[in-house]
Amino acid sequence: MEFRLSQEQRLFRQTLRDFCEREIAPLARQIDTERSIIPDQLLEKMAEIGIFGISIPEEYGGSAPAGEEMVYGTIAVHELARADMSMSLPVYALLCMGWGSLIVKHGTEQLKKEILPRVATGKYFLGIATTEPTGGSDVANIRTSGIKVGDRLIINGEKIFISGVREAFELRDGGHITLVRTDPEAGHKGFTMVFIPARLPGATYTVLDETGRRGLSNGTMHYQDVEVPEHHILGQMNRGFYLNMEGFNLARILVASACVGMTERALEISRDYVRQRVLFGRPLAKFEGVSFELAEDHARLEQLRIYLRYTAWCADTLYKEKDFISQRELSRMVSICKMTAPKIGAEIVQRCMTHLGASSYMKECPLGSALQGVMSYLVGAEGGYHIQKLIIAREFIGEESVPYR
């Protein structure tokens, strides 16, 4: 079994790290403080080196390395999160990558030609909109409806806590893959996934005020008799529940990678500080209360990083070898990563802040922004902490552990 990156993957990582340190890191504080403003010029540069095209085949304007999309995606998001520890830019990119991959795999040919080349340019935002005021992880409570009328779906409902609303509606252009109820009597077999462009008549948005991750907007979307062409449906009608699970498997791998990248950089900041900070006549690193914490946190992060790389490889292999593992088996692995990465990240960043002392509480230090950003993925984004436990229990223990059946 090969654990090291290939020569091409290592070259990609180094090229991207150089780019991120040169182009992104100097703008990271600006991105986090000037709410919902990621410079267009920066997105264009990211597109030029192929970041937004990682999950998109060349025929649609992308640069996808066939059969290695998720491994390359984790490398890219990891490096972005090291440079922008607030997580705004990594989240922007991973949403386009992860959910763009779902369109590649299940979108109609017409939809692929309409959307994917624009996503690859960085000028078109692609997100996910499942959470509603009455249900997020509880898919059974999703009420947004989609009624088939001729060759269109008529959408009515509301989504909340959705990333990229301002980007899709106002700053640039874009849309969201959305889960709607198309058969009210069929339970979880009555949902359909559909791509809804933001600027359709009847679609409106509002922006919410987030604690962190402020370079990417978050808000609500309202659909009132929004007419969506039939070719925007992903997969088959009333099979959306299963595509939803598949899409989150891909997106959560990238989320975990962003958390690992950010945490890796936080540990480096703390390590470099304790090496040179002198206390009682010797470097702070000489005190085992500090150095042992850093050693333990480094070990935890390394273990997670290796398992995450394995999970990304499994996700790529699943699409090449259909009998390799099932989507449900992959869900267990992905949930282990998603449960662990934000929690470890939040804990480690807090400890790193205690190592730096008062300086970590100043806005010039990126650790505060990092903590606020990673907390979004601990409390709920892309599936909350306890939801991941539920998925792991369901797949490891069995149906006896499922509280909703």
Domain 7-126 has CATH 1.10.540.10: yes
Quickly count: other Cβ atoms within 10 Å of residue 203's Cβ: 21
How many angstroms from the chain centroid is the CA of residue 37? 18
CA nearest 116: which of 163, 178, 64, 162? 64
CA nearest 55: which of 11, 114, 102? 102
What CATH fold (topology level) applies to the domain 128-234? Answer: Butyryl-CoA Dehydrogenase, subunit A; domain 2 (2.40.110)
pLDDT of residue 35: 63
pLDDT of residue 315: 94
Task: Let me know how long the chain is.
Answer: 405
* Structure token digits, residue 137: 């992880």
Domains 7-126 and 128-234 share a fold: no
Secondary structure of residue 148 in the 3-state scheme: strand
Sequence-ordered list of residues with C-beta below 8 angstroms from that of 111, at least 6 positions apart, any chain = 103, 195, 231, 232, 234
CA distance 153 to 43: 32
CA nearest 189: which of 137, 130, 249, 139? 139
CA distance 388 to 405: 17
Structural domain spans, the chain? 7-126, 128-234, 241-401
- Asked if 362 and 333 touch (Cβ cutoff 8 Å), the reply is no
Task: Looking at the structure, give the CATH architecture of the domain made up of residues 241-401.
Answer: Up-down Bundle (1.20)
Sequence-ordered list of residues with C-beta below 8 angstroms from that of 28, at least 6 positions apart, any chain = 83, 84, 85, 86, 89, 366, 369
Beta bridge partners of 279: 282
Per-residue pLDDT of the chain (405 residues; tens, 9 = 90+): 677 889 999 999 999 999 999 999 999 988 888 666 889 999 999 999 999 999 999 999 998 888 899 999 999 999 999 999 999 999 999 999 999 999 999 999 999 999 999 999 998 999 999 998 887 677 777 899 999 999 999 999 999 999 999 999 999 999 999 999 998 887 778 899 999 999 999 999 999 988 888 899 999 999 999 999 999 999 998 988 889 888 989 999 999 999 999 999 999 999 999 999 988 989 988 999 999 999 999 999 999 999 999 999 999 999 888 889 888 899 999 999 999 999 999 999 999 999 999 989 988 899 999 999 999 988 878 888 888 888 899 888 888 777 776
How many angstroms from the chain centroid is the CA of residue 48? 21
**Which backbone phi and psi does 324 adopt, to 5 degrees?**
-65, -65
- Asked if 102 and 246 touch (Cβ cutoff 8 Å), the reply is yes
Pairing of strands 191-197, 124-129: unpaired
Q: Detail the DSSP E strand segments found in 230-313.
A: 233-234, 278-279, 282-283
What pTM, to 2 d.p., does this model score? 0.93
**Which backbone phi and psi does 101 adopt, to 5 degrees?**
-60, -35
